[in-house]
Amino acid sequence: MELLYKSVISEELKELEKSLLSSISSDISLATEISNYLLLSGGKRLRPALCILVSKALEYDGEDLIKLASSIELLHTATLIHDDVVDESLFRRGKESIHSKWDNAHGVLVGDFVYSKAFQLMASFKNPEIIRTLADSTNRISEGEVLQLSLKSQDLLEKDYFNIVDRKTAELFKAAVLTSGILASCESNTLLCLREFATSLGIAYQVQDDILDYFGDEELTGKKNGKDFQEGKFTLPVIMAMKLANSKDKSAMISLLQEGDLKKFPQMLDYLVEKNINSQIKETFTFYSTNCLESLEILPESPYKDALKDIVINLDSRLT
């Protein structure tokens, strides 16, 4: 099943692809080659799609939309390249990640290259509010990743988890829809609702990503299950399970995570299943996705609004 946005903004998405390719061209062919390797590997283009859909829903018909959407996707691409180095993830989008195909130095430097290409696009906007929003978001995303490093601990609380996720994931969703709203000169009340929509969407999205790491279908996600476990990350499924566990089970779960031995992943899964974590998290997920749908009501009816709703409704399927 294909999500509605792919057909509703198919022309704009084609333009986006052209723009992305031309944005990362460089005299240094190795930089372009490696960036292309990831850019052309089938990302969902969800963030630029949000940006395009929101502007269109607000009847923007100026020239800057594809450039804005491209800068958002380039920021996303750069964070993924660096994230895979940090997380030592071997796969991304079903292919070898950049640092595993080349090495860490290539990952770090090409990540910087893609960031700087995003900044070049960002700098070309005439509206300083757009530039400031994008710059602030870039900063908050990196803060989220750093915070996650320092909070790899058994004492991680739900509130810390949501603080990290608000930054490392929801922030770029926010930047995508806020800059899009600013571009379309929308009213401040609409901007507030768009912020609410994007924050809830980003959180629901990351919560779902963390569930998929334990319970996902690898063929659909293009990622190996158990990565968060292997890295000893205290993601929401684990935080919730530990809250419900007696002290013996809690210590056992902490040891399993600290060891990070994939052979023992089924043992961790058993704990999560026993504590019925899947249905507990569904409640959290439903809270945020309902909030998303309510916040969208501020937009006038249009096929673009329908496509935004469709993204929210199908969030838990993670189909392309």
**Which partner, ligand IPE, Mg ion, none, binds residue 183 by CB below 5 to 8 Å per kind?**
none
Among 70, 169, 179, 200, binds ligand IPE (CB under 6 A): 169
Q: Which is nearer to ligand IPE, 206 or 291 (CB)?
A: 206
199 is an interface residue for ligand IPE by CB under 6 A: no
Distance CA 197, CA 152 (A): 28
* Residue 227: C-alpha distances to residues 26, 114, 288 (Å): 34, 25, 24
83 is an interface residue for Mg ion by CB under 5 A: yes
Among 16, 23, 43, 179, binds ligand IPE (CB under 6 A): 43
The phi-psi region of residue 299 (left if phi > 0; otherwise alpha if psi is between -120 and 50; otherwise beta) is beta
Tokens of 306: 């329908």
Q: Which is nearer to ligand IPE, 12 or 83 (CB)?
A: 83
Residues across the chain: 320
181 is an interface residue for ligand IPE by CB under 6 A: no
**Which partner, ligand IPE, Mg ion, none, binds residue 200 by CB below 5 to 8 Å per kind?**
none
Are 106 and 114 in contact, with CB atoms under 8 Å apart?
Answer: no
Among 3, 13, 31, 46, binds ligand IPE (CB under 6 A): 46
213 is an interface residue for Mg ion by CB under 5 A: no
Interhelix angle 188-215/171-183, rounded to 10 degrees, is 150
Q: Which is nearer to Mg ion, 212 or 298 (CB)?
A: 212
Are 18 and 39 in contact, with CB atoms under 8 Å apart?
Answer: no
Shortest separation between residue 143's beta carbon and ligand IPE, angstroms:
11
Q: Which is nearer to Mg ion, 165 or 182 (CB)?
A: 165
**Which partner, Mg ion, ligand IPE, none, binds residue 169 by CB below 5 to 8 Å per kind?**
ligand IPE
71 is an interface residue for ligand IPE by CB under 6 A: no
**Which partner, ligand IPE, Mg ion, none, binds residue 12 by CB below 5 to 8 Å per kind?**
none
Among 49, 141, 164, 201, binds ligand IPE (CB under 6 A): 141
**Which partner, Mg ion, ligand IPE, none, binds residue 171 by CB below 5 to 8 Å per kind?**
none
Among 19, 137, 206, 291, binds ligand IPE (CB under 6 A): 206
Distance CA 51, CA 141 (A): 18
| Count of positions on this chain that bind ligand IPE (CB under 6 A) | 15
Residues making contact with Mg ion (CB under 5 A): 83, 87
Residues at the interface with ligand IPE (CB under 6 A): 43-44, 46, 79, 83, 87, 89, 93, 141, 145, 168-169, 205-206, 209
